[in-house]
Amino acid sequence: MQQALIDFYNNSLGGFLPKEVFVFFVSMLPLIELRGGLLISSVLGIPLWKANVICIIGNIIPIPFILLFIKAIFRFMKKHNIMKGFVEWLEKKAASKNGSVDKGEFLFLLLFVGIPLPGTGAWTGSLIASLFDFDIKKASIAIFLGLLLATAIMDIVSYGVLGSLI
């Protein structure tokens, strides 16, 4: 698996895209985010300190746009019948859970972003914060702290556990 990733990078992108730039863009992608970026950094041999900076910055960039504009994007999508059913489903799901999250929203958001499980991360955390109308300042801080927690966990997984296997 690791060799396949190295071969993909070397054969497809290595000639014109520095590995740090590749990891930066990977860290911006939903679902993959910082977690995938750190795994790829480890495989490509990027030093841990550099990988952390690249992946954190890459993962943070989309967050303000999601927090500030996702509701307007959803309104546009519903108005123009673009994935309208999915957007309405997401909004209904959020509305039904709103009361259960309000009390501990900061800690919930921090842990949701910070614990690397499938479907969690800064993108999804930002979407939840926006749909639940969390305070944008508190949400931003919780998401950032969650990213730091995810970074620490993924550093151990990527450079500690997997690093010893490479």
Give the start-to-end residue ranges of the domains of the chain: 2-59+151-165, 62-149
pLDDT score of 24 more than 90: yes
pLDDT score of 6 more than 70: no
Structure token pair of residue 29: 């992608």
Average pLDDT over residues 138-155: 96
Task: Please write the tens of the pLDDT for every residue from 130-141.
Answer: 988 899 999 999
Please tell me whether the overall predicted TM-score, pTM, comes out greater than 0.95 for this model.
no
Task: Please write the tens of the pLDDT for every residue from 70-110.
Answer: 999 999 999 999 999 999 998 887 777 666 555 688 999 99
Q: What is the pLDDT of residue 137?
A: 94
In 3-state terms, the chain is what percent helix, strand and coil (to 5)? 80, 0, 20
Structure token pair of residue 87: 């957007």
